[in-house]
Structure 1
């Protein structure tokens, strides 16, 4: 037998090892599904072979009990069983692929625990072994964290910098920026480098350590430590000492480990010192803190993680590759070279485009296509065009990305569920945070908008999404989230969708359906009146969809998300059977507002609480009588409103008798708020923002006796406020920021007895305040500009408890991209 297996003798332990090695060899050549992971395990066995050989030869000398060897033998035999079962898995069985890939990983982890036990028994001190156990542990850690085994020397390599891959692209710019921070900025001693798994964080950290300027600065005081999931400070400190040639210290507890770490940094840090903490998992803030607290001008720390560690170090986010570098990496991974002449130019372009600059995706796809006939390349592109995920064929990529979700512990279950919901929206589109607020409130019982936004920050911190705030001012915590959006790398979106597909379709919690033309999924066309269990249903259609819906039996759906691009769109007739439906999100991704038909079908739903419409002609939905007795919240974003509500066959108060919240954002044709809005007696929140043609509010607005929040943000043509506002006795927050046409406030504004906060930033034409402001006894905070600050200061003797905040402009240009909403 060739390879490492031939190094093991014929005894019980060697026999099990040899059988496992042979089965791996066979499966790698015949089964592409698990090939990347199996190659890593086989490479692991190549490294372990010398050690296992010495164990069998020297077990008595090392005083090992039979039990440890029996356990190791049994574990190798279990590995044989798992690998043999992998031979039977077919590529289309998503659940089994994921299940057995995890079994392989679990087997790997158990092997590592067995090696730790053997380590305790004295194997680590073997002098004649060609590979130390600690070196093995380092190899195992890198396998787990990167699914790539860097070639290590046979001698002990404590804290050694991993070797760079044969080709490194797209990191010259980030390298310059890291050097600028860690070598030249005296105020920065720690940089936290974050990105999703597979984006090249470890490669960039290794490249940084091997840069000439860095080596000239730190010389032999460069330490590279792979931390991974369950870090032990004691092990890290031992590695640091052994890297400098000292005996490994022993510890009574973690306190003594901290003391020895401090001593090490103090002694070795007399000269410039660099420590890289690679692959630090979420939840390891205490470890980062222990290093951060010992920072000095000579100590520099580079932390790589999929999660941000806010409060520690300078945050640096690694971006995806640009097109040119992505193509270079793909050509190298696919070993095209001169062979590229036989591959049509459009094929690599389409494949690289699908990977969206994600280095690991480019690498594994390139390797999987390397040497394959052109038909295999073409088949892959055809499959993707039919809606197949890149993760369907690339197990290595899937497992790497799954680790990001695995990092969400039991306390973060809701965060993981929120991540999976992000797949409900089309790729390459900003996801409105306001839509997610509606979804999460009903699906996950997230009661407040603040909690929803906090969840988005958690996802951003873990590099699973990116929260983009486009508002121009820096004010936070005021409850205005219409200018908060979420972006996500397409590969991460595919990860979310992939996770929703586990298990039979009729039992999935989420059904996310992407329809090209009128090509419905086969399971939908063939559905034989079998009800689905989904709580969330998302349907995305393109411009070729003709709105011919097949029947859907989905009685348990609570959230319906519809994304479309056509000028005319009709709600599915089957919504009348969705008795549990609580939230409807309808988004037109076309350029102009679309007509929406069948809206009256929603009147039959007893539990519908929330509706959000984007780029919809409201006139098209008010042609037919509608009555939504249970509706609590309606949001209209970039809709055409015109006189739609005035021409409605039923009054607003009759259509929405229990409405509590109305949001109207970026509705450019809204000139005057319909007077009937004032009859919504249960309304507690009215938000009208960025409606630049709105010139007047109805005089009857004072009838909204339960209103608590009135937001009229960025309504630039609004010149005055109704005098009846004095009757809004429950309003505690008034936002008229960016309403720069307002010249005066209502004379009797002082009668708004509950008013606690006013935001009047950029109300530049306001020349004076009415004397009645002195009666605002509950007023606590006023947000204004330098130009209008003096207006309030003149009343400071009467308004002792009022805090005046001068708003500053946020110097970023995110708001310029609103056309891409």
Structure 2
């Protein structure tokens, strides 16, 4: 079953509260303990020499219930909100109780929707026994998945003409009207479909409405749908599940989505049959589908055509490069925006290049002239409805500007023989996946300072979602990189050689994609032999899970 039932824990109750209610909380704690309930309270249990967030998460892993003390102060506290959100992500039962001196009616306007749906306890004599009985009962709860939508780009600008109608559609005013709805965002690569969907996921009003969870699946051109559905199942239940056929996949979707107010984003869908399976289940689950394929988009109830940005929106992205853009530069910003054709992918890269040049001397006009001259030199002009081929040439030319900036500023960074070659080689990694710096280090070798080079690429917005340890490549950028690799098979083989023993791979990416790189290096027979080797199978299971191992077997006949 999808609901989680907790085993014995170290404490019965974690008390989450505002310090403004400290006196009430200590009285409440004493009363709970007299009724045989052990309580975790930050003022009693926190250690001053440790980071408090880590201590809170550790405490939440050791309790059955979080008692959320409701007051105007706690409902405005970022810390309290962080505590109850993480409790829900971890499958801890959250029991709201009204602080002394307040009523539910006093707090109604500040309550989150999920709080309003719960029984809200009080400490009056009439309700006390009910609260005690609830806290002593086994905790059976539906876990809320931790948000996994991509972060927004550094130079993000909200596109109101697209964002606001979509938000309004998703914010249906009455809960009983929330029904399964499917909206597709269709447009070319790099036009901002994924960013638009991510912005909706990060919106607080959307998060409040879809209080059973917002979950993101990046599908891609050759998806392992069973693995992705198993990941969804794990996120909603905290449990592993093996899925090997469509019937099992549909059953898993039914189990975790049934009766829940969930927003499910299906990003970068290419095939109608992939979408059909992922559309199963969840009578109240709302889905957003992003796709470049018109026939896929037509499978949804509503269709949104995501085209290039308006010149005003494009100008705002470029203005993000400066601390305080001045009105006298508006005309030049507008010319640059038109030249870049309202294409968010290029605009984001151009804005980061503009910022880097501006930061050298803090002269806005000089930076603007620099970028304009570079665009002119590279022949980048997408003003007049460019073809797909012209857009791709513009990607190459815009990236060339970034590489030139890196070479010109090489004194700031470790010397490297060829910035472009290093960047192109990133295309060898799997599509739509987090790429670890340790795997990049294996590919590039010891002579390259991977951390510095990757940070330089990220500073110029050539990478997505860089967090210091891993990143992603936009699929348009990845396609460009692959087109520049002379011998992809040899590059896959080089990465495999650097990883070494497949029974002792260095990181999660390597364990999950070693078999994929084996196939692309032309080593199908060697992979088949490893899949009969008990030592490899044992090591893979120990490092990952049965489903990840199963993917190795699935890849071989399908791609070999």
TM-score range, shorter chain: 0.3 to 0.5
TM-score normalized with structure 1 length:
0.27
Structure with larger Rg: 1
Q: Indicate the structure with greater helix content.
A: 2
Q: Give the TM-score normalised by structure 2.
A: 0.38
